[in-house]
Structure formats: structure tokens, C-alpha cells
Amino acid sequence: MRRIDQIIVAIIGALAVAALGFVAFTSFPAQPMPHALDALGSDNQVSVAHEPWWIFRPRSKEPTVGLIIYPGALVDARAYAPTARAIASKGYVVVITPMLFNLALFGEERAKQVTPFFPKVRQWALAGHSLGGTAAANYVGKNEGVRGLVLWASYPADNNDLSRRNLIAASIYGTNDTLATPDKILGARTRLPAATKFIAIEGGNHAQFGWYGAQSGDGAATLAREQQQEQIVNATLDVLQQLEHLP
């Protein structure tokens, strides 16, 4: 075998090993807690469909406002089911979109597949946790039709300036989050509309934006997950309620 052929074979082999390693690494996301799995069943308030995404619909009304949730990096999408259910029970359709390789940056355009599925929904908001929030903000930056953005322990990428967009936006963060720190969240303020609400959850951390247990490198929360989730849900509902009043 010629020297050049040996080099090509070695490069191909190295790339194959790297690709297999990447797939293996992303194939084991943080798993949902039992409470999250319990939230995946329908009841007399909320119906839950499992295909083509996780879809939560209120039984009390036909929603005209919807929310699409982008999961955090390497987190099983089902870990956001309790949050989705709580929001849906207030009269909104909520869709959680699982992501390729469990990384939202590989699925920024998922919202474009979701919205035509619900022709009676007039206004949409995107919510995203951590890297999912960055991906959601990227999508909103490229698509004028989305009027709401809710960032959960997240912020727009450096090259994504949404400051001039006509958005109803909220940035919700935990003061004990040592991954998406308060300094990082507030440092991105200029890339969001001036009217964006910044909501600090005192004692909240990164992992308690979902239901998947602890997370490496995160700070310790000083309030219960249920308490942090209640504040997350209420702040998200505030954005959706404002969207209801848009033409």
C-alpha cells in the first residue's frame, strides 16, 4: 500500500472512531425522574400524545396560543413533562421536541415542523433550557412568525442579536446556577429586546429547570424543585397570556 493510501486509511479510521465516540456519548442523556414519567399520561385535564412529539393539550378549550420546548443538552426530552403538563393545564398546547443526538443545536428548525400541525394556534412561543434556549433563540432570530421567547437558564449566542425584534420575552434564571450563571444571563441583556423580563429564582440552580436529577458542575439549590418549577411555570405563563392579546 502506498504511503498516501495508508494516510487516507488512517484518517478515515480516526474519523470513524471519533464519530462512534460522539454517538456513544450523546446516546445516554440524563434520564427523567419518576415524577416526569408520571406526567406523560393523560388525565381529565390534559391529554398527552407521544407522536410525532410529546404533545400536551388542555381538555377545557381549543388553544390559540402554543409553546414549543427545546430540551437542554444531553437531557432526555421527557424530563420536561411536568412543566409542560402544568402549562397545558392552564389552556395552552405545549410540545416538547426530542432532538437528534439529544442536542438542540442539531434541531433548531424543529419548531418549523411543529407549527403547521396546529392550524388553530395563532401565536407561538419557544422555550428552551440551557443549550436548548440558545437554539430556540437562534430559531426566533431567523423566523419572524414566532412572537414569544422564554429562556430557562439560557441566553442568545453572541452573534444572535434579538434586541430589535418585536418579541414578548422572558429570561428566567437561578441565583445558585454555576453553569448558566447570573453574570452570563445578565451579560446577554443587550442581545434581547429592551422590554425582556429578567426573573431571578432565589436559590434556584440549573438542573431544577427540568426533572432529571443533579448535574455535574451545577450549584446546590436552596429551594425545592417543586418551588423552583412553580416560579418557572408562572413566569412562562405570563408570556403566553400576553400572546393571547396579540392580533
pLDDT at 4: 53
Query: Average of pLDDT values for 38-44?
Result: 98
Does residue 25 have a pLDDT over 70? no
Does residue 212 have a pLDDT over 70? yes
CB neighbours of residue 187 within 10 Å: 11
Does residue 5 have a pLDDT over 50? no
Can you read off the three cell numbers belonging to residue 30? 440524563
- CA angle (54 as vertex; 132, 216 as ends), nearest 5: 40
**Distance (Å) of CA 10 to CA 1, 4, 16, 17, 118:** 12, 10, 10, 11, 49
pLDDT at 19: 36
Residues 6+ apart with CB under 8 A from 229: 82, 83, 86, 208, 211
Q: Taking a C-beta distance cutoff of 8 angstroms, is the pair 86, 35 a contact?
A: no
**Distance (Å) of CA 98 to CA 14, 55, 186, 226:** 29, 11, 28, 23
Report the phi/psi class of residue 154: left, alpha or beta, with left for phi > 0 and alpha for psi in -120 to 50.
beta
Residue pLDDT, tens place only, 148-190? 999 999 999 999 999 999 999 999 999 999 999 999 999 999 9
Could you tell me where the beta strands, DSSP code E, fall in 63-138?
65-70, 93-96, 123-129
pLDDT at 16: 36
Give the confidence band of 15 by pLDDT, cuts at 50, 70, 90: very low
Can you read off the three cell numbers belonging to residue 226? 417543586
Mean model confidence pLDDT for the chain: 91
Residue pLDDT, tens place only, 218-247? 999 999 999 999 999 999 999 999 999 998
Q: Taking a C-beta distance cutoff of 8 angstroms, is the pair 113, 135 a contact?
A: no
Q: Among 8-17, 23-32, 148-157, 179-188, which stretch is predicted with the lowest mean pLDDT? A: 8-17
pLDDT at 24: 41
Does residue 204 have a pLDDT over 70? yes
Does residue 217 have a pLDDT over 70? yes
CA dihedral 23, 207, 86, 142 (to 10 degrees): -60
Can you read off the three cell numbers belonging to residue 185? 444571563
pLDDT at 1: 53
* Rounded-to-integer distance, Cα 214 and Cα 207, Å: 6
